Amino acid sequence: MSNTLQALMRERLDRQGWSYGDVARRGEIPRSTVHHLATTDRLVRMPQPATLEGLARGLELPLDTIRRAAAEACGIHLYEAAPDPEVDVLIASVQQLSPENRRHVAALVESLLERSRLPEGEGSD
């Protein structure tokens, strides 16, 4: 099973007809690094910023796209800072909950979203 970074790299390599060496040369990073990132199912740590920058150059993709894919491959979920401070507090708070309590919060959010999709008057008590 591939991770987000692997899938992104594979799609780009296939579409452009590039090799690991092509990406490495353009990005000025070692071919072995490109190969490792493209073939490792789960990254144990986030690649160095210089590696991410080189990979972005080599793949001709925005750095933010590469950074997000690498973070997801490491099990890190990034989010954009919300313009609403309440949203930031909610996100930070949810991350501190136990897995069971996070499931409860997720169920509540899904229920509220479903209720907001109903036509006016339906779903109200």
pLDDT the model gives residue 88: 64
> CA 60 to CA 8: how far, in whole Å?
12
Q: Write out residues in the chain with pLDDT < 50, as ranges.
A: none
CATH superfamily placement of domain 4-73 = lambda repressor-like DNA-binding domains (1.10.260.40)
pLDDT the model gives residue 83: 66
pLDDT the model gives residue 79: 64
> CA 86 to CA 6: how far, in whole Å?
34
Global pTM reads 0.62
> CA 60 to CA 25: how far, in whole Å?
12
Contacts 24+ apart (CB under 8 A), 79-88: none
pLDDT the model gives residue 52: 95
- Chain region(s) in the chain for CATH 1.10.260.40: 4-73
pLDDT the model gives residue 68: 86
